[in-house]
Structure formats: structure tokens, C-alpha cells
A and B are shown apart, each in its own frame.
Chain A
Amino acid sequence: DTEVTQTPKHLVMGMTNKKSLKCEQHMGHRAMYWYKQKAKKPPELMFVYSYEKLSINESVPSRFSPECPNSSLLNLHLHALQPEDSALYLCASSQGWGSGNTIYFGEGSWLTVV
């Protein structure tokens, strides 16, 4: 079982809604990630936090806003999304941001934008 916990498991939201995805890990990891995965496609990196600071933003639209309140928590705030943003959103963590740290994934949050 994964030690990266994501909530909610499923989320349906309208295009004018504001919602958040939450992620928590208790492995003492200092790097946390958001990935987006469309059906039958590989995960695509969105954001990386290292030591609670945003290290990587892969040119993600501003309607996705990440937040790392502390080393164990990672949020993804959603606002004014489009139907094409419907996907599986995966949170992951690794011990550090340094080279060669294994990334462990949560089970994901299934997002449907209507």
C-alpha cells in the first residue's frame, strides 16, 4: 500500500467552481510532486516542491495553483478549469530532490470537469 495519501478519490466540479486536491505523506520525504495523467497516457510532471519551496513549474496554466503548507502536505487548488483538464491527478514524494531519489506515488484523484 502506498504511503502517499490523496483526497478526494473522485471529484466532479463545474467550470466556475473552486476546489482543492490534497496530498499527505508521513515518510519524512522532502520533495513532493504533482503529476497529471490522461487516460492511456503516461504521467506528466506539473509541479515539484523541494523543502516546501516550488522548484519546478512545467508551464502549467495558472488555473492550477499548488501549495505546500509543510513538508508533509501538498495541495493543488483548482479554479476555472476546463473540461480538458479532466484527468487523474497524482501526488508523489521522494526523499529529496537530489539525483536518483525514487518517487513514490499516491493512488490519485480522479477529476471530472463538467
Chain B
Amino acid sequence: GESVGLHLPTLSVQEGDNSIINCAYSNSASDYFIWYKQESGKGPQFIIDIRSNMDKRQGQRVTVLLNKTVKHLSLQIAATQPGDSAVYFCAEKEANTGNQFYFGTGTSLTVIP
């Protein structure tokens, strides 16, 4: 598999602040990226995705930024809430390889009330 790593294994933020979770990837041929949220005892939940022909995508309170030049992906969560506490994974897929995703190591986000 390819190396999909995260800069910070843990992140603590105050409720109401913005959170930024980073992800570095090494495969320049990756063309599709997904962010997942995994709460304790549950399966990964889709948050937002982005394709390599875009550099920014926004959802409800979340924004994903893709910098292909430095192979970096970030997830921004606005006005972080206690319910956002979870482990966040980025997953990447290489172009022309079907739908085979590789996951990064994960960042544990803790929101302090």
C-alpha cells in the first residue's frame, strides 16, 4: 500500500473553535480522497470527499483542502462541537486501480467543553 500519514495523532480543541486535521500522502497518482469520522465503537462515517481536479470542497461546517503540489490534505471543522470528538481518517485512492482505498493512521480529536 501507499503511505498515507497524518501529522498529529491527537488534537484537543475548545468547543466553538475551529479544528484543522492534516493528512500527508505520498502517491502522486492518487485521484480521490475521502475523510471519515469514527466514533468509539462505531464504523467509519463518510464526512466529505474531494477529487484531484479540485483544491477545495465545502460541506456543512467542514471544508477539505487539497494541495497536490505538496501532497497534502486537510479537514477543517468550523465551530467544533463535543459531538465532533472522534478519530478522523483520510483515505486515498490511486487512479485507475478500481476503488481500492488506503487509510491514513488517524487523528484523535477531543473537544473540550
Contact = CB atoms under 8 A, between A and B. Distances in A.
Contacts of A96: 99
A102 interface: yes
A2 B45 contact: yes
A61 interface: no
A82 B35 CA distance: 32
A31 B103 contact: no
Interface residues of A, number: 29
A45 B44 contact: no
Interface in B76-109: 89, 91, 93, 95-106
A34 interface: no
Given A43-B44, A45-B101, A102 B95 contact: no
A94 B100 CA distance: 11
Output the residue of A4, A31, A105 with the most chain B CB within 10 A.
A105
A20 interface: no
A42 B105 contact: yes
Nearest to A6: B43
Nearest to A106: B43
A90 B43 CA distance: 7
Interface of A: 2, 4, 6, 31, 40-45, 48, 50, 55-56, 90, 94, 96-108
